[in-house]
Chain A
Amino acid sequence: DQQVKQNSPSLSVQEGRISILNCDYTNSMFDYFLWYKKYPAEGPTFLISISSIKDKNEDGRFTVFLNKSAKHLSLHIVPSQPGDSAVYFCAASGRNAGNNRKLIWGLGTSLAVNP
């Protein structure tokens, strides 16, 4: 059962336009969300995160929005650049019964930014 869902396996955007990557989750106990970017033949790298006490976090061209009532978050990249072409993973965590945390990952969305 996929607790973190990225329903779009791929997305293609023109350079300079906005890229919007979506992520849905089912577990209401999740209270921290992260986006990672992965280039081919490399490990994922942390991009941006958001705590459930906020609904928006911005870092340069990257903004993450969180809608807790809809259990939905999105990553906006503005303006998109060809170097942003990568696979983007959404991940979520929350404290479990053992008071530990573990990241639960989506399957990723492959973003292609066309020049």
Chain B
Amino acid sequence: AQSVTQLGSHVSVSEGALVLLRCNYSSSVPPYLFWYVQYPNQGLQLLLKYTTGATLVKGINGFEAEFKKSETSFHLTKPSAHMSDAAEYFCAVSDRGAQKLVFGQGTRLTINP
């Protein structure tokens, strides 16, 4: 079965520093990959997704992610953290032809002033 691993349940960075949130998936066939963000007591909002084509995907709020097939990874980055980026981030995958998403455990991002 498809699975997703997010390394680090909690990441803390200083305002203005690089944000790096890690995501690895298990699949012999490259899946479709998603990053969602959740603010406290709210639903999830799509940041970006990879389906086909360019492996570097740009999303909203200055985030981007790179699909690396050889490493089965889809890490999320942002060059300069802002206080408003504090939230929980979820990586998710779906198999080609499937309607279901499988989510990672989530990474809570804290921004220090």
A binds B: no
